[in-house]
Structures are given as C-alpha cells and as structure tokens.
Amino acid sequence: MLIIRLQRTGRENLPTYRIVVAEKARPVKGGVLEHVGHYLPAAHPSSVVIKKERIEYWISKGATASNTAARLLSKHGVQGLEKYITRYTKRRPKSEEPPAPAAAAPAATVATAPAVEDKPAA
C-alpha cells in the first residue's frame, strides 16, 4: 500500500521535512518511491513546495496520505484529501445547546443566635 507522508530531515532542533511517496511497510527514512515536495517549518514564513500534479497522480493510483501530510497538502490547494484527515477532539453535536452559565450563588448569610437576656437569678 502506498502512502504520502513526511520524512524528517535537518539537524537537531531545526526540522525540515520531505514530502514523499513510499510503501507503508518501509522504514520512514528509506524505501522512497518519489519525492513530491518539501516543508520548511522553521523558515519565517514557513514554506511548502509541492508537485501538485504528481501528488494527484499518486492519489489516482491508490496512494493514501498520512493525517499530517493530508492537512498540510489540503491547506496548500490539493483537493480530495479530506477523507484522510481525522479529528483530534470530540465535537459537541450542533443540536445540543451549550450549558447555561451558573447563576451567581446568593451571598452566604451569617446565622446569629437569638439574643439571650440576662435574667436575675431567683
């Protein structure tokens, strides 16, 4: 099975990534069929260079994209990758209304003992 994924390169604390097409069973660092772009997150602004037509070619041949690669590529104009993106958090259904804010609690009242009158001893 073919997968489009990121291959980390670069030095320590300065990552750069290649966007590659590879067999899923191959190691991340080896067994690459084709380099289809690169991603430099440390550059300001971060840069992404992709070969859009080659990515679309591999997808038409049955390649899938990793979650991270699908997010990155769809943000930069590649169509049809939404089915590979998974959500990280649970979302509340739209039909459910958000809980109402808690009403301010009434101020605590201090209970005082009834006044005891001094009675003369009999």
Give how many domains the chain has, as a whole number: 1
Residue 17, domain CATH: 3.30.1320.10
Q: Quick check: is 102 in a domain?
A: no
Give 68-92 pLDDT, tens digit per residue.
999 998 888 888 788 888 877 777 7
Range of the domain at 18: 2-84
Give 17-61 pLDDT, tens digit per residue.
999 999 988 888 878 999 999 999 988 898 999 999 999 999 999
Confidence of residue 114 (pLDDT cuts 50, 70, 90): low
Q: Note the pTM of the prediction, 2 decimals.
A: 0.67
Residues 6 or more apart from 18 whose CB is under 8 A from it?
6, 7, 9, 32, 35, 37, 38, 39
